């Protein structure tokens, strides 16, 4: 079992609480009451946590359900140490068993934002009929999304990844370019030190 580890403040320009605030602002702008995030790299980015559930990738199996007041991370909490639990509490992120995500979705009301290409059918299949899904890649707000994409300078014109994954639009580091490159190199090195080594060829 590979435990989680904290992506510390020295390696990132925003706290998890600040990232959640930006996600919630995006939700308000789009009229969404809830946002279900199941893309593992986006969850790791929001929570400033890393894991080892996928070989050679610093991600962990999880779902993140966000509303205006709460954020719940559905994970295997046995992999969380005391420091990681405090880290999440300070960020305003509660935890729940990974298997409970579908039950949480079944109890929702209002409008749910999610990416149908990045979420398990077994989870969204539990949505009540009264819930109005708002899938970003079917958004009726191309101008607003285009403006956010242009500000983030992540996706070239015509690329729809931002539209399909709203959190990706927000994954913009505010540091100068030189600082971004150094942060990226340092973060990669930290994971490389923890990652399993491939077998040597004979």
**pLDDT tens digits, residue range 85-101?**
999 999 999 999 999 99
pLDDT band at 116 (very low <50, low <70, confident <90, very high): confident
Q: Which residue has the higher pLDDT, 81 or 180?
A: 81
* pLDDT attached to residue 190: 56
Distance CA 75, CA 125 (A): 19
Which tens digits make up the pLDDT trace of 16-55? 999 999 999 999 998 899 999 999 999 999 999 999 999 8
Whose CA is closest to 141, among 64, 31, 45? 31
In this prediction, what percent of the chain has a pLDDT beyond 70? 64
Q: Are strands 71-75 and 111-113 parallel, antiparallel or unpaired?
A: unpaired
């Amino acid at each position: 079992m590979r435990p989680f580890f904290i992506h510390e403040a020295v390696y990132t320009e925003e706290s998890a609480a600040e990232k959640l605030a930006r996600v919630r602002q995006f939700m308000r702008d789009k009229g969404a009451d809830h946002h279900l995030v199941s893309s593992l790299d986006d969850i790791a980015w929001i929570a400033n946590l890393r894991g080892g559930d996928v070989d050679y990738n610093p991600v962990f199996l999880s779902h993140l359900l966000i509303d205006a007041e709460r954020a719940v991370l559905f994970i295997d909490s046995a992999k969380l140490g005391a420091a990681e639990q405090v880290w999440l509490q300070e960020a305003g992120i509660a935890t729940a068993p990974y298997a409970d995500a579908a039950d949480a979705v079944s109890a929702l009301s209002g409008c749910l934002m999610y990416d149908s290409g990045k979420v398990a059918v077994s989870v969204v299949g539990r949505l009540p009929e009264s819930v109005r899904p708002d899938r970003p890649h079917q958004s009726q707000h191309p101008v607003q999304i285009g403006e956010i994409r242009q500000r983030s300078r992540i996706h070239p014109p015509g690329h729809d990844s931002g539209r399909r994954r709203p959190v990706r639009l927000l994954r913009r580091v505010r540091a100068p370019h030189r600082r971004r490159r150094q942060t990226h190199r340092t973060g990669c090195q930290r994971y490389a030190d923890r990652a399993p080594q491939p077998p040597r060829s004979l």
